[in-house]
Amino acid sequence: MSTTGVAEESIHQGIVPGYLLARLARSSQFTHAAEAARQTLIKGRPEYRATLELSVDSNGDLIADVQAAPSRTIYDTHNTEQLPGDRVRGEDDPAVEDAAVNQAFDGLGDTFRMLLGAFQRDSLDGGGAPLTATVHYGEKYDNAFWNGSQMVFGDGDGEVFTGFTGSVTVIGHELGHGVIQTTAALEYQGQSGALNESCADVFGALTEQYTKDQSVDQASWLIGEGIFTPAVQGRALRDMLHPGTAYDDDELGKDPQPADMSHYVRTTEDNGGVHINSGIPNRAFALAATAIGGKAWETAGLVWYRTLTGGLSATADFTEFAQATITAAADIGASVETAVRDAWIAVGVVEGGVIKDASADRAPE
């Protein structure tokens, strides 16, 4: 499924994968959450903004510095499904009493600042597009998603999932889909779809790390940390550095993400395993970033960003993406190229230093 030129109702790139919701829907322990999961499974260019900073130089001349700034609007559907809902906070409005509104507002700003500070990208489209989000979507809706034009947050069921606005990695991930949509437009199927999900995870992780000013060694590399309640045996939805270890719960099962190509999952579910097999490129990014060291957005993130914006095909598979990242890394330096190549070797996309043909590993279309 392409994410370009599609009516917004047809796009639901949710943070919680369908296979996890399907497992939860059959739960006998979490009966309240099981009903919420079943209901969740059933559902499915404006003015730009800038800041003007004025200062006086040593000669007494007035200096005007125009900088990009976010243009955020938060809506509330009051647990209906009528998007976008009622406007509850805009860019120049103060914080409100509703924590979900303020968390969404702050998370959109965090993602905007990461994109601008790390990649000099002015919003999702690079041209200052406004950022819109809706909170309190649906009744006990167990997901957050990007619908092609805005973010949408459910409140969770309270038994397994909490509200989704509290995780900056969730917000950065979903807005990352907007960046991907306006750059490589990776098709949401098979390996290109897994790359779409993985790159969104990269944006989610970078948003958290940039906001907290973390080095790669300080980072958790978790996506969706904190959205499970204490009743669940799990740390997050995904672990980029250690795929397959994010949760292991009697009711929800074990995190199914593979860490390398030898465990690649061939399936027709989940759009050909887009949320499952994304663990492989996720680990490649985390390994490359930790090998390079420092702040992930400064080097490894820049390599991935240049790959997305450098003419990558919409149907790129893991091998094409790996080659593109290695080429982008070489433009930065030999040590960066080595780190990126070694990361792809570790996950089995590159063998013996040579890019392999992964056509046999592709999930059925």
Q: Which CATH class is domain 8-361?
A: mainly alpha
Helix (H) or strand (E) holding 170: helix 168-181
Choosing from 173, 275, 320, 337, which is the catalytic residue? Answer: 275
What is the Cα–Cα distance from 205 to 221, expressed in whole angstroms? 6
Tokens representing 67? 């900088």
pLDDT beyond 90 at 23: no
| CA–CA separation, 170 and 73 (whole Å) | 18
Half-sphere exposure of 158 (CA within 13 A, CB side): 3
Res 316 pLDDT > 90:
yes
Please give the pLDDT value at position 340.
98
C-alpha to C-alpha distance for 211 and 205, rounded to whole angstroms: 10
How does 60-82 read in b/e, with b if 16+ C-beta sit within 10 Å?
eeeeeeeebbbbbbbbbbeeeee
**Section 350-361 average pLDDT:** 60
Question: Token digits for 16?
Answer: 């919680």
**Over 50: is that where the pLDDT of 26 sits?**
yes
Which residues on adjacent β-strands are paired with residue 351?
Answer: 354
17 confidence band (pLDDT: 50, 70, 90) = confident
Rounded to an integer, what distance in angstroms lies between the CA atom of residue 310 and that of residue 355? 19
Candidate list 174, 187, 225, 320, residue with the active-site label: 174
Say if CB 152 and CB 74 are below 8 A apart: no
Query: Has residue 143 got a pLDDT over 80?
Result: yes
Position 47 confidence tier, pLDDT thresholds 50, 70, 90: very low
User: For the chain, what are the domain ranges?
Assistant: 8-361
For tokens 């095909």, the residue is 313
Q: What predicted TM-score, i.e. pTM, was given to this entire model?
A: 0.84
**pLDDT value, residue 208:** 98
Q: For position 339, what pLDDT does the model report?
A: 98
Compute the residue count for the chain: 365
SS3 content of the chain, % helix, strand, coil (to 5): 40, 15, 45
The confidence band for 20, taking pLDDT boundaries of 50, 70 and 90, is confident
Mean pLDDT of 255-278: 95
For the ranges 49-53, 66-70, 131-135, 148-152, which has the lowest average pLDDT? 49-53
* Dist. CA 256–CA 279, nearest whole Å: 9
* Residue 313 clears pLDDT 90, i.e. is over it: yes
DSSP for 211-231 reads HHT--TTT---EESTT-B-TT
Question: What's the mean pLDDT in 252-268?
Answer: 95
Across 247-256, average pLDDT = 95
Write the pLDDT tens digit of every residue in 131-142.
999 999 999 999
Of 11-20, 30-39, 285-294, 330-339, give the lowest mean pLDDT range.
11-20
Residue 73 bridge partners (DSSP): 90, 132
Residue 275 is a catalytic residue = yes
- Three-state DSSP at 131 gives strand
